Structure 1
Amino acid sequence: MTEALHCAFVELAAKTPEAIAVYSDAGVLTYGELNERSRVLAERLTADGAGPGVPVGICVERAPDLLVGILAALRTGSCYLPLDPNYPADRLAFMVQDSGTRLLLTTPASRASCPPGPTVVVLGETVVTEPGTKPVAVVPGDTAYVIYTSGSTGTPKGVAVRHSGCVAMLAEMDRVLEGCDLSGVSAASSVCFDLSVMEIFNALCRGGAVVLVESAVHLSESRYADRITHLNVVPSVMNGLLDAGAVPANVRTVVFGGEALRRKLVDRTYRETGADRVFNAYGPTEGTVFCSFGPVSEDGTGEPTIGPPTATDRVYVLDGNLERLPAGESGELYLGGAGLAHGYVSRASTTAERFVPDPFRRGERMYRTGDVVKFTDGGELQFLGRTDHQVKLRGYRIELEEVEARLTGCPEVREAAAVVRGSRLVGYVVPAGDGAAPDGPRLDTGLQSAITGRLAVELPDYMVPATLVFLTALPLGPGGKLDRNALPEPPAADPGGPLTAAGSPTEVALSEIWGQLLGLEPSGIDVHAAFYDLGGDSLLLVRLARLMTRRFDRRVRVPDLFSFRDISSLARWLDDESGAAPEVVQSARLRASARRAALRGRGAAGR
């Protein structure tokens, strides 16, 4: 067994340099080319201080350079810290500061997204070198990457994952996926989501090819979609792909993960695609991508399980006294074994709280997942729910407490709660001052735009509530705590008068795009109605941003769609040549820019 995540790739590149490693609309690379470019970059990173124990930030758009950077960081012995260029600037700055990252890799296209502080290395500015530095020997227990997940205290927390856990994960995939075609493995997950590790390295360490796409929502738009044979996908996204008839024709294997999988979707997948093998994978980031993984048969009955435990992980179902429970009885899931992460970066107390002594293995630890499960009689795991308020949306892990903390940090908000309803995140707000709703739950487009506009410059788009419901007070249970089950359904939007049809050419074009996505007649869409109120969801919002970018030849990001929620305001923004943001968002961005400038100034003074 190779001891480091990238070693099998380097060995394959030496044996089959002409084989295709990466397909991408931005370019195609062979194993030899990817290996050489990552070697050259590793030499440069080493000269700039990369090495064992040194995190290297990777702030690169979804192009082959992303894989070049990840491999280069690993080859130096460093761990990599994925930084999505589309994340809000403050969140990226927090991740860099919290992790102690002093070296950051980017490209000219993503340079403006980089937070201040670290030494920045820009791809394309490196010089080809002959091999100079000897390959760094990686200890299996060294950290391979740090991925930040949502935090219940209001700030994200970084999970440090070991090389040994990654290597064990790949060995398990080899065993479970034996015989599957890896000639085109989809890589559509954000690198800030640990499913990306499985997507990238399952292909590159087994002689397959990565098909790098912008996101699974845009799968059919990729020039190389027809090369995808192995599709990794979140269930909610797969439903959208099936609805749109957008699953590539050559897909033969589908691996689900990130959300609960339902039998109805499994049946649709077998019936409506060419897939002949379907798998379900489960696992928290703290357990290195997955800890249970198994096939889901075509002729099965009942809801799918999350599979049997992997051969390299220890999986316990325990009661409140940490006693093992027999099959059929529900309890909390605890994990141990090869996949266990080091813990949380810079959070010793949180690490001690969640990574506890293993009572069944002296001197070892286990991780409290917070998931409620039970073993079936056949030895597989059935997911039943959570012990806390963590949820999954589009496969991303969200601590509702973090969303609530950001909501209550807005000056317009006195109290707040958040829940997931269907495929949307809904916030419940008691307004500050005299803004409380006098007649029960209500919607307020203007107030919502102000609040979500603030959140859009602080949180990733999947953590910004799609809808805000304004209440006079949050419902409380007998003990005085928030009763989430008593939070009302969002009220229907009030059209407030006769329909206002599109007038300007921009409004007409937007109505056509909205109609295409929502299955509505463009002439029947009110230009003052919000996208979500017409049936949109978070997945369609991603497609909307992409379609608008193409149609209007102007970059449209999902956060922009939280600021301009209807066709009328979007059209005014698009027609404004200055591209001005609304006042609240613009002021927040100016404050963030001022903070970054101040940090750069302090850094320059220190040098």
Structure 2
Amino acid sequence: MTETLHSEFIAQAVKNPDATAVYSDAGVLSYGELNDRSRELAERLAADGAGPGVPVGICVERTPDLLVAVLAVLRTGSCYLPLDPNYPADRLAFMVQDSGTRLLLTTPASRGNCPPGATVVVLGETVTTEPGAKPVAVVPEDTAYVIYTSGSTGRPKGVAVRHAGAVAMLAAMDRVLEGCDLSGVSAASSICFDMSVMEVFNALCRGGAVVLVESAVHLPESRYADRITHLTVVPSVMNGLLDAGALPPNVRSIVFGGEALRRKLVDRAYRETGAVRVFNAYGPTEGTVFCSFGLVPEDGTDEPTIGPPTADAVVHVLDEDLRPVPPGRPGELYLGGVGVAHGYVNRPRTTAERFLPDPFREGGRMYRTGDLVEFTEDGELRFLGRSDHQVKLRGYRIELEEVEARLTACPEVREAAAVVRGNRLVGYVVPAGDGTAPNGTAQDGTTQDGPRLDAALQSAVTGRLAAELPDYMVPATLVLLPALPLGPGGKLDRDALPEPPAATGGPLTAAGTPTEVALSEIWGQLLDLEPSAIDVQSAFYDLGGDSLLLVRLARLMTRRFDRRVRVPDLFSFRDIASLARWLDDESGATPEVVESARQRASARRAALRGRGAAGGGAGGR
């Protein structure tokens, strides 16, 4: 087993320099090119002060430059701090300041997103001085990366993860993934999430290629999607890809993680793809990516477990008095072993609360996950839920308390609560002031037109949150209440919070043109809404849509209008009115044209079905 996260990549690059290391729509790099570029950049960073114990921020788009940057930082002995260029400026500034980062690595395209107060190194800029210091030796106990997670106190927490933990995780993956084709490993997770560590280094440390895409939603748009043989994906994302018929065709193994996996989806994955192995995995950032990992059999009937503990993990299932509970009994999951992180950056008190001495291993440490699990009789773990208010939404880890803290910090809000309803993060707010919302709406959300969500308050509050939080932490809907419901003990009763409205209210702008009517039908199908109840000026996200449904929307529109509609198009035109204008202006989609296109598409599908029947139904799984 190698000692550091990047050393096995270097060995692979020396052995096979001409092999392809990275496929990306922005370019392709061989192992030799990636090795040379990261070494040269490491020397430049070392001259600028990078070294052991020094965090280096990486604010780079999802191009091969991103992997050059990660490897270069690791080679200096520094740890990398991922900074998504799409994050709000305030959040990026907080992460940089909180972690003590004084050196940032970026590109010309993302330089404007870098917070002030740090030395900025720009990839591709001409260097007038010769690099001075050489990268130093890196040891397993050095921190490899710092990833910020949502914080229960309202402040994100930086988790410092060791090289030793990451290397041990990769070695454990070798055992469970033995025989899987890793020649094309999808890398669709942001480097702000630790699943990216497994995606990138599972390929680069084993001689495979990373297929770098913007996100899982953009898989259908990648020119290299057909090179993906091994896919790591969140269950809800997979549902969207399967519904849209957008899964890469050559995938042979699938790893699910990030949220609960159901047997129904496993059956679909085996039945509707070429996958011959489906795995389910679990693990918090504090335990280094995954700490349990198991093959889900194709012929099973029970709901999937989260697998047995990985070879590098020490797992305890304990009661409130830190006593082990027997199989079949629920308890809280505590993680020990080499994968346990150093702790939280500059948070000694929080670190002491969550990282405890391991009473079962002398000198050991264990991390209190807050997750409720039980051991099965055959040694696998079954996930039962959370013991606090942390949630997973489409694979993103969210502390509801952080969202609530940001809501109550808004001057328009006196009290707030947040919950997940279906696929939406919903905020409940009690307005500040005299009981009147900004436009005269009463606190109970009623007007002369009946209950509705106040648009002015929604705009003011979500605008502030969007400037402070990643988009997945901004409530899709706000509901106004006169007061938050409380239980007998005076605590918030989340179960008593009302169901949110399907839309944001206000006077409804109904579909007028034939194209708007057709789009309303499609939106209604996807969002489970009556087409007549859809406001053509409401954004898809405001009505309960998400990035996964956008994949299906693009496919349905392509079929309905007989023209290619891409996911990026739907980010540009967010409501029915603008989409309809775009379709009509670009394609001349009159009612006759639309109906003719639908008839032609129906005829083509019938012909294809006929050929399939004549051919004996041959095909993949």
The interval holding the TM-score normalised by the smaller chain is 0.7 to 0.9
Match of 1:376 in 2: 376
The answer to whether the 8 A contact 2:520-2:532 is kept is yes
| Secondary structure at the counterpart of residue 384 of structure 1 | strand
Q: In the TM superposition, what is the alpha-carbon distance from 1:123 to its structure 2 partner?
A: 0.4
Match of 1:590 in 2: none
Q: In the TM superposition, what is the alpha-carbon distance from 1:401 to its structure 2 partner?
A: 0.3
Match of 1:447 in 2: 457
Matches within 5 A, 1:506-545: 526-532=535-541, 534-540=543-549
Q: In the TM superposition, what is the alpha-carbon distance from 1:413 to its structure 2 partner?
A: 1.1
The answer to whether the 8 A contact 2:52-2:77 is kept is yes
Q: In the TM superposition, what is the alpha-carbon distance from 1:470 to its structure 2 partner?
A: 1.3
* Alignment of 1:486 onto 2:486: no
Match of 2:210 in 1: 210
Q: 1:102 to 1:544 in 2, by over 3 A?
A: farther
- Where in structure 2 are there 5+ consecutive unaligned residues? 438-442, 558-562, 582-621
Give the AA of the match of 1:475: P
The answer to whether the 8 A contact 1:281-1:292 is kept is yes
Give the AA of the match of 1:526: D
| Secondary structure at the counterpart of residue 57 of structure 2 | strand
Matches within 5 A, 1:349-364: 349-364=349-364
Match of 2:407 in 1: 407
Residue by residue, what CA displacement relative to the aligned partner does 1:579-602 show, whole Å, maximum 9, x if unpaired? xxxxxxxxxxxxxxxxxxxxxxxx
The answer to whether the 8 A contact 2:504-2:543 is kept is no
Match of 1:473 in 2: 483
CA distance, structure 2, for counterparts of residue 467 and residue 263 of structure 1: 30
Matches within 5 A, 1:247-326: 247-326=247-326
Match of 1:80 in 2: 80
The answer to whether the 8 A contact 1:424-1:538 is kept is no
Q: Comparing 66-75 with 118-127, which one deviates more in the overlay?
A: 118-127
Matches within 5 A, 1:58-137: 58-127=58-127, 135-137=135-137
Q: 1:567 to 1:284 in 2, by over 3 A?
A: same
CA distance, structure 2, for counterparts of residue 425 and residue 405 of structure 1: 15
Match of 2:587 in 1: none
CA distance, structure 2, for counterparts of residue 328 and residue 162 of structure 1: 33
CA distance, structure 2, for counterparts of residue 360 and residue 368 of structure 1: 14
Give the AA of the match of 1:431: P
Give the AA of the match of 2:216: A
Q: In the TM superposition, what is the alpha-carbon distance from 1:449 to its structure 2 partner?
A: 2.2
Q: Comparing 530-539 with 445-454, which one deviates more in the overlay?
A: 530-539
Q: In the TM superposition, what is the alpha-carbon distance from 1:363 to its structure 2 partner?
A: 2.0
Match of 2:367 in 1: 367
Match of 2:151 in 1: 151
The answer to whether the 8 A contact 2:108-2:122 is kept is yes
CA distance, structure 1, for counterparts of residue 556 and residue 266 of structure 2: 29
Q: In the TM superposition, what is the alpha-carbon distance from 1:352 to its structure 2 partner?
A: 0.2
Q: In the TM superposition, what is the alpha-carbon distance from 1:447 to its structure 2 partner?
A: 2.2
The answer to whether the 8 A contact 1:146-1:160 is kept is yes
Match of 2:160 in 1: 160
The answer to whether the 8 A contact 1:546-1:556 is kept is no
Residue by residue, what CA displacement relative to the aligned partner does 1:455-481 show, whole Å, maximum 9, x if unpaired? 111100000001111111111011000
CA distance, structure 1, for counterparts of residue 272 and residue 514 of structure 2: 40
CA distance, structure 2, for counterparts of residue 566 and residue 244 of structure 1: 20
CA distance, structure 1, for counterparts of residue 543 and residue 424 of structure 2: 13
CA distance, structure 2, for counterparts of residue 518 and residue 265 of structure 1: 20
Residue by residue, what CA displacement relative to the aligned partner does 1:285-305 show, whole Å, maximum 9, x if unpaired? 000001101100111112100
Q: 1:538 to 1:297 in 2, by over 3 A?
A: same
Q: 1:498 to 1:374 in 2, by over 3 A?
A: closer
What is the RMSD of the two structures over their aligned residues, measured on CA atoms? Answer: 3.3
Match of 1:462 in 2: 472
CA distance, structure 2, for counterparts of residue 163 and residue 92 of structure 1: 24
CA distance, structure 1, for counterparts of residue 267 and residue 371 of structure 2: 26
* Alignment of 1:437 onto 2:444: yes
CA distance, structure 1, for counterparts of residue 356 and residue 179 of structure 2: 38
Q: In the TM superposition, what is the alpha-carbon distance from 1:395 to its structure 2 partner?
A: 1.2
CA distance, structure 2, for counterparts of residue 482 and residue 570 of structure 1: 41
* Alignment of 1:388 onto 2:369: no
Match of 2:618 in 1: none
CA distance, structure 1, for counterparts of residue 579 and residue 485 of structure 2: 35
The answer to whether the 8 A contact 2:47-2:131 is kept is no
The answer to whether the 8 A contact 1:502-1:526 is kept is no
CA distance, structure 2, for counterparts of residue 546 and residue 447 of structure 1: 34
Matches within 5 A, 1:576-591: none
Give the AA of the match of 2:545: G
| Secondary structure at the counterpart of residue 5 of structure 1 | coil
CA distance, structure 2, for counterparts of residue 392 and residue 292 of structure 1: 17
Q: 1:90 to 1:18 in 2, by over 3 A?
A: same
- Where in structure 1 are there 5+ consecutive unaligned residues? 573-607
* Alignment of 1:341 onto 2:341: yes
CA distance, structure 1, for counterparts of residue 175 and residue 540 of structure 2: 45
Match of 1:223 in 2: 223
| Secondary structure at the counterpart of residue 12 of structure 1 | helix
Which of 498, 510, 521 is the aligned partner of 1:500? Answer: 510
Q: 1:301 to 1:543 in 2, by over 3 A?
A: closer
CA distance, structure 2, for counterparts of residue 224 and residue 258 of structure 1: 25
| Secondary structure at the counterpart of residue 169 of structure 2 | helix
Match of 1:193 in 2: 193
Match of 2:611 in 1: none
Matches within 5 A, 1:596-607: none
| Secondary structure at the counterpart of residue 223 of structure 1 | coil
Q: 1:496 to 1:414 in 2, by over 3 A?
A: closer
Q: 1:176 to 1:498 in 2, by over 3 A?
A: closer
Residue by residue, what CA displacement relative to the aligned partner does 1:146-186 show, whole Å, maximum 9, x if unpaired? 00000011110000000000000000010100010011100
Give the AA of the match of 2:540: F
CA distance, structure 1, for counterparts of residue 92 and residue 308 of structure 2: 36
TM-score (norm 1): 0.87
TM-score (norm 2): 0.85
Residue by residue, what CA displacement relative to the aligned partner does 1:406-454 show, whole Å, maximum 9, x if unpaired? 1111122111100111211111111222231166974223321221121
| Secondary structure at the counterpart of residue 97 of structure 2 | helix
| Secondary structure at the counterpart of residue 419 of structure 1 | strand
Give the AA of the match of 2:536: V
The answer to whether the 8 A contact 2:554-2:567 is kept is no
Q: In the TM superposition, what is the alpha-carbon distance from 1:539 to its structure 2 partner?
A: 3.3
Give the AA of the match of 2:98: D
Q: 1:55 to 1:543 in 2, by over 3 A?
A: farther
Match of 1:140 in 2: 140
Matches within 5 A, 1:541-552: none
Residue by residue, what CA displacement relative to the aligned partner does 1:562-595 show, whole Å, maximum 9, x if unpaired? xxx85569999xxxxxxxxxxxxxxxxxxxxxxx
Match of 2:600 in 1: none
Q: 1:31 to 1:323 in 2, by over 3 A?
A: same
Q: 1:118 to 1:523 in 2, by over 3 A?
A: same
Give the AA of the match of 1:536: G
The answer to whether the 8 A contact 2:188-2:215 is kept is yes
The answer to whether the 8 A contact 1:441-1:471 is kept is no
CA distance, structure 1, for counterparts of residue 130 and residue 33 of structure 2: 15
Q: 1:497 to 1:358 in 2, by over 3 A?
A: closer
Percent of aligned pairs with the same amino acid: 81
The answer to whether the 8 A contact 2:294-2:306 is kept is yes
CA distance, structure 2, for counterparts of residue 498 and residue 281 of structure 1: 45
CA distance, structure 2, for counterparts of residue 240 and residue 552 of structure 1: 16
CA distance, structure 1, for counterparts of residue 104 and residue 416 of structure 2: 36
Give the AA of the match of 1:342: H
The answer to whether the 8 A contact 1:44-1:126 is kept is no
Q: 1:324 to 1:70 in 2, by over 3 A?
A: same
CA distance, structure 1, for counterparts of residue 224 and residue 347 of structure 2: 42
